[in-house]
Amino acid sequence: MFDLDPWTLLTIVLLGCITVITRGFFFISSKPWTLPHWAQRGLQYAPIAALAAVVIPEIVTTQGVFITTWQDARLFAAFAGMAWFFWKRGVLGTIVCGTAVYLPLRLMLGW
């Protein structure tokens, strides 16, 4: 079914071992372990940075190329969602507002 050469098999096994060791590292030690303050503070921004790294390219590019027209439903939906968030500070309302702007522009105007 699968033709695995020895190097591929060795790579899979070693990556599996590395994964188990790094994820189980905190359980191996008997002493409580805490992150330094600077690391804890940096991790507070990690979800925002990851979300921006995924969402922003999806809004401003099409197949890896920057959009060149203002007639793109994603731009208007993103601006409407941002406006809602800064006005009400609600995540659900942001999603609903962005979708409410995106769908008519996309389905009716074909943007």
Residue identified by tokens 């702007």 is 101
How confident is the model at residue 51, as a pLDDT?
86
Domain boundaries, the chain: 39-108
Is the pLDDT at 1 greater than 90? The verdict is no
Region 2-31: mean pLDDT is 87
pTM of the model: 0.60
Task: Give residue 26's pLDDT band: very low, low, confident or very high (50, 70, 90).
Answer: confident
Residue 82 has pLDDT above 90, yes or no: yes
Three-class secondary structure of residue 66 per DSSP: strand
pLDDT at 81 over 90: yes
HSE-up of residue 65 (Cα within 13 Å, Cβ side): 4
Is 3 a residue whose pLDDT tops 90? no
The C-alpha atoms of residue 51 and residue 81 are separated, in whole angstroms, by 15
H helical segments located in 6-90: 6-28, 37-60, 73-88
Q: What is the mean pLDDT of residues 2-16?
A: 91
As given in the structure block, the two tokens for residue 16 are 């599996």
Q: Given the structure tokens 């330094």, which residue do they identify? A: 36
